[in-house]
Structure 1
Amino acid sequence: MQADLIQEARRQAEICNACRYCEGYCSVFPSLHANRAFSDGDITQLANLCHNCRGCYYACQYTAPHEFDLNLPAALAEVRRDSWESFAWPQPLARKFHTHGGAIILALVVGFALLFAAIKAIGSAGGEGFYAVLSHNAMVAIFAPAFLLPLVSIAVGIRRFWREVGGQRIALGDITGAFGRAVKMQDLAAGHGEGCNFEDEDRFSQGRRHVHQAIMYGFLLCFASTSVATLMHYFFDMPAPYPLFSLPKLFGISGGLLLTVGCIGMVALKLKSDRELGDTQAWGGDIAFIALLGFVGFSGLVLYALSGTAAMPALLAVHLGAVLAFFLLTPFTKMAHGFYRLAALIRDAQRKRLAG
């Protein structure tokens, strides 16, 4: 990890530790105030606990032009991004992504080309619906590795993170407490419960919390759709296509809508926010990834709406190309932050349990 980013975040954390004005704002400050000195692992843990709500910045009396020049949200955002890059496997891909948001576009183009080639070379086994364009076996051959390999990469990164932050044996209560905070997105409401200042220093809003929830639950519903369809195909001998009022369709359509709306809302909020209070180096990559995720949801909805038309084969290739790019880039994009933040929340729950 970059020592200068850690050192600057440590300097600011030490000042915050002496001040303690923001003690009740979010999970960061109770954890910060529990320490007298901060190791590199402590700073990494604080950075991944931070949700960048920015309330502490707007409440702080030591921001510029004060000589202390505090900007804790930005300092922690930079360490957070650097930690994902440092722990990622393979590491060079992560660093390239965050500094070159166009890598997503390249991945999409490559994904489209591969899928078009697969459609032409492999062809169909005479199935119905989408399988009339690309056989079920071909889809499995393409997407099973694209799903499993990123999971392995994320697992390696989380293991490295856990060692860095001094994580110990996990108790069931640590997991349930962390999941409870994650599901409610409690830290995006800040300590006062009125929301965060992400959009405007004078305005508290739950907007960022709501779009995060839309994206999270939209993604989970889409994942549930695919999982249920897989079970129906292999265990109940019920291959696709499925009718509208089936679980795969109901989960998929509702998930696609939430994902699309949530990503549009997130981009709008990021465009209105002050970039200097986050990681400016990662801003372009973040926007590109959110756009990709939203496009996955939107293209899935369009594909379903036009599934009986002549446009379906091309739409299928575009949609699957976006999905393929999403999966392959997951360990190196903002998507990884969900895994690291959950791990940080588990570590924080562990800290509270061991301290009490």
Structure 2
Amino acid sequence: MSTPALIDLTRQARALANAPFAHAGAAEAEVARVLQICNACRYCEGFCAVFPAMTRRLDFPAADVHYLANLCHNCGACLHACQYAPPHEFAVNVPQAMARVRGQTYTTHAWPPALGMLYQRNGLVVALALLAALAAFLAGGVVVQGGWAGLWQAPAGANFYSVFPHHLLVSLFLPVFAWVVLALGLGLRRFWRGITPVTGAVPPAGPAQADAAHDVLTLKHLDGGHGDGCHEADEAYTLWRRRLHHLTFYGFGLCLAATGVATLMHYVLGQPAPYDLPSLPKLLGGVGGLSLLVGSLGLGLLRWRRHPLHGDAAQKPMDLGFIALLALSAGSGLALWAARGQPAMPALLCGHLGAVMALFLTMPYGKFAHGLYRSAALLRHHVERRLPNPIGLGAD
């Protein structure tokens, strides 16, 4: 395709894709302003994927701003390298401007949007209230069946199914899981359609998918562009944010794998729970739970101590709500493992199941959705960088 034809296609596609963003807000306008300045400077061109993507544009409509905001990993390197950062009169703060737009995308593209708005504004309160309500509901079921003593009495058989039968747990969690898949799928679909004005007509090819998967699984862009890491509370470089993200991500994956393996063993191999060491579900769940607990607590500490210029302070309750549910799900799961056959096991089981259900129900409206949106943005980036640069000035 010739360059003039590509430019014309780009303009037409952008006009169509940006129709839903005709009334761009102040956050999108601020990103457009700072990127216009960055496009003239380009000192940070090699830091991450945002700046090469930026150089393919002369203007920044809201759809492209949503794409670039989710491409940003908020490592903070560009803020500390920028000669126009606050207190300069230009007040260029790319990480903070991007973070504010990124938070808006969680509600703009969430399905249904009203739930996204509720969680964004009151994330920590909603998370803990939902956990408490679900745990109380489950505890109420135990009390109805066996009285208050049933919460503090070792059940016969010393396993979870003595408290909640297997078919009851399936009937509780299957609708929750189906809802999460539906809401995440529709949200991701809305986001992908909204950020593809240039590459919408170009389906992702295998090499682009492989490069995007590599960037996602290695968290490549949390190295600050030079391998030394991110900035957190000050100008010092650290790789802790990348390491803790890995512990959290892969710990969560191992916990899901443990559940999947246990399901196969139950329904396919005819080996019902509970499982003992050294069974595969127990090994995967134990390692995954410990990794998830350490990673989430570490990320919570970093989030609490992070310099206010590095992000959007208004999102702290949402971030801490998600982190709290991750940590409580992992911690209660490990405690439940240790308390098997003990009098506290029924009460711990209610708390653990409440934490897991609350975590899943809030997934489509906060930081978990952010992981999917960022993966989609990276995929678009690797598709886009294989196309001719429409303005001929980029560093790809």
- TM-score, normalization: structure 1? 0.96
In structure 2, distance between residues paired with 1:110 and 1:355: 54
SS at match of 2:231: strand
Contact 1:275–1:283 (CA under 8 A) maintained in structure 2: no
How many Å apart are 1:120 and its aligned residue? 4.9
Contact 1:218–1:258 (CA under 8 A) maintained in structure 2: yes
Alignment of 1:4-83 (within 5 A): 4-83=26-105
In structure 2, the residue matched to 1:149 is 179
- Give yes or no for the alignment of 1:321 onto 2:321: no
- Give yes or no for the alignment of 1:96 onto 2:118: yes
In structure 2, the residue matched to 1:161 is 191
User: 137, 140, 143: which is aligned to 1:114?
Assistant: 137
In structure 2, the residue matched to 1:181 is 215
In structure 2, the residue matched to 1:248 is 281
Supply the AA of the counterpart residue of 2:240. G
Q: Over aligned residues, Cα RMSD in angstroms?
A: 1.8
Deviation string 1:215-253 (CA, Å, 9 cap, x unpaired) is 000000000000000010000000001111111000000
In structure 1, distance between residues paired with 2:208 and 2:138: 42
Contact 2:158–2:340 (CA under 8 A) maintained in structure 1: no
Supply the AA of the counterpart residue of 2:210. T
In structure 2, distance between residues paired with 1:10 and 1:48: 14
Task: Report which stretch shifted further, 167-176 or 257-266.
Answer: 167-176
Supply the AA of the counterpart residue of 1:107. L
Identity fraction in percent: 43
Shift in CA distance, 306/353, structure 1 to aligned 2, threshold 3 Å: same
In structure 2, distance between residues paired with 1:195 and 1:206: 4
Shift in CA distance, 13/43, structure 1 to aligned 2, threshold 3 Å: same
Deviation string 1:279-317 (CA, Å, 9 cap, x unpaired) is 111112211220110111111000000111011000000
User: 326, 330, 334: which is aligned to 1:301?
Assistant: 334
Shift in CA distance, 4/122, structure 1 to aligned 2, threshold 3 Å: farther
In structure 1, distance between residues paired with 2:145 and 2:279: 29
- Give yes or no for the alignment of 1:231 onto 2:264: yes
Contact 2:110–2:187 (CA under 8 A) maintained in structure 1: yes
How many Å apart are 1:127 and its aligned residue? 7.2
Task: Report which stretch shifted further, 149-158 or 315-324.
Answer: 149-158
How many Å apart are 1:171 and its aligned residue? 1.9
In structure 2, distance between residues paired with 1:200 and 1:342: 28
In structure 2, distance between residues paired with 1:225 and 1:353: 38
In structure 1, the residue matched to 2:308 is 275
Task: Report which stretch shifted further, 162-171 or 223-232.
Answer: 162-171
Alignment of 1:130-141 (within 5 A): 130-141=160-171
Unaligned runs of at least 5 residues, structure 1: none
Supply the AA of the counterpart residue of 2:238. S
How many Å apart are 1:121 and its aligned residue? 5.7
- TM-score, normalization: structure 2? 0.86
Deviation string 1:53-99 (CA, Å, 9 cap, x unpaired) is 00100110101221111111010001001011110011111111111
In structure 2, the residue matched to 1:354 is 387
In structure 2, distance between residues paired with 1:127 and 1:177: 50
SS at match of 1:220: helix
